[in-house]
């Protein structure tokens, strides 16, 4: 029996208790769900198609930059209001809500890294969530992420608590980050941080858990264990996912829990990691793995190879190796070459679903 029947999950975007049940099941059984950063309808359908064909749930998320791109690069995105980012995230959410049921799989609709300077983006989305909830009984998004890892632990927790109290009536999930993810991605540049900042301490995890647990059960922690955004040469990134097991044991001991893995953990900076690192992290309660850089590369390769292999058909609208009067429309139609990117991205998402033991769980 798969999780659609076992957990009675609907197809399409899920919320509240359904998200909680999905993550609880993943933590218990031992799989993690890929969180795919999407920037367009094309990347959305590539991920959905991969999940459908792999019989697996999926998490679709937009970053602030990705949301602004979804709206269009020609729209203003001021630091005070983040107009494009808010509009793009909302547009992406409505599109995903509309199309996801057609793929017959449960989808968690999430937003990625929101640093302190991007809180106007978070506020704009949350206002829309509250409006949507009043009309429909669910928020627009399943969950959001706050990334205040560059602030003090105290400010990080205090700010997250304030937002979690606001999100709790909506039964909306909050993902927070403690411990910095190194490297650079989508405008978040931590490439110069001290190495020690990449590793979260168990006392911090306990402090977060204690601050959140009486407000809402809908939260997860992106803890640092050496994670770095991007892909680097072997040996440059030293991951220690076994630290997550120590965090779980510490929280269990301090709070006298019977549950061996009381915390929902998230794996950031996963591109290029080894299979053993993924599996160790999942065994210690990771239920979500962010995947972006590898998928960007995969999407490019399909388009790159198509253009390379058909270059003599793409130089002019008319005229190719088959004849000077032969039209090339069937070659340069965007539906043809964009689809090639979708195919290669889909294949990489399928690889992730297998690697994280999510494939076949439906």
CA nearest to 219, candidates 154, 258, 249, 264: 264
How would you classify the pairing of strands 265-267 and 173-178? unpaired
Q: Tell me the helices (H) and strands (E) count for the chain, helix number first.
A: 13, 13
Half-sphere exposure of 233 toward its Cβ, with a 13 Å CA cutoff? 0
Catalytic residue list: 112
Region of 15 (left: φ > 0; alpha: ψ -120 to 50; beta: rest) is beta
Across the strands, what pairs with 290? Answer: 35
What are the start-end ranges of the H helices in 110-152?
Answer: 119-136
- Classify residue 230 as exposed, middle or buried by CB count within 10 Å of its CB (0-12, 13-18, 19+): middle
Radius of gyration for the chain, computed over Cα atoms and rounded to the nearest angstrom: 21
């Amino acid at each position: 029996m798969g999780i659609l029947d076992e957990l009675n999950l609907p197809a399409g975007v899920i919320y509240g208790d359904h998200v909680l049940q999905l993550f609880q099941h993943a933590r218990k059984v031992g799989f993690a769900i890929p969180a795919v950063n999407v920037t367009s309808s094309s990347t959305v359908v590539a991920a959905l198609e991969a999940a459908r064909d792999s019989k697996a749930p999926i998490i679709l998320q937009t970053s602030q930059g990705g949301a602004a791109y979804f709206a269009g690069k020609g729209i203003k995105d001021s630091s005070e209001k983040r107009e494009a980012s808010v509009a793009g995230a909302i547009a992406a959410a409505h599109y995903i809500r509309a199309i996801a049921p057609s793929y017959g799989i449960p989808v968690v609709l999430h937003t990625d890294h929101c640093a302190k300077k991007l809180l106007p983006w978070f506020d704009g989305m949350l206002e829309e969530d509250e409006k949507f909830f009043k009309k429909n009984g669910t928020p627009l998004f399943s969950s959001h992420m706050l990334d205040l890892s560059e602030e003090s632990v105290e400010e990080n927790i205090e700010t997250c608590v304030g937002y979690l109290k606001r999100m709790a009536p909506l039964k909306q999930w909050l993902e927070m980050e403690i411990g910095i993810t190194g490297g650079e991605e989508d405008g978040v540049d931590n490439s110069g941080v001290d190495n020690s900042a990449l590793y979260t301490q168990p006392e911090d995890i306990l402090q977060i858990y204690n601050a959140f647990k009486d407000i809402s059960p809908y939260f997860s922690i992106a803890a640092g264990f050496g994670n770095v955004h991007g892909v680097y040469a072997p040996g440059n990134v030293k991951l220690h996912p076994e630290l997550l097991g120590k965090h779980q044991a510490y929280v269990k001991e301090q709070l006298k829990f019977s549950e061996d893995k009381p915390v929902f953990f998230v794996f950031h900076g996963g591109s290029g990691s080894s299979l053993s690192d993924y599996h160790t992290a999942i065994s210690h309660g990771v239920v979500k793995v962010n995947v972006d850089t590898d998928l960007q590369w995969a999407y490019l390769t399909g388009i790159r190879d198509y253009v390379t292999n058909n270059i003599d058909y793409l130089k002019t609208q008319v005229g190719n190796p088959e004849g000077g009067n032969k039209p090339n429309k069937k070659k340069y139609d965007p539906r043809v070459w964009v689809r090639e990117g979708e195919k290669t991205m889909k294949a990489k998402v399928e690889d992730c679903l297998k690697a994280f033991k999510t494939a076949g769980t439906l």
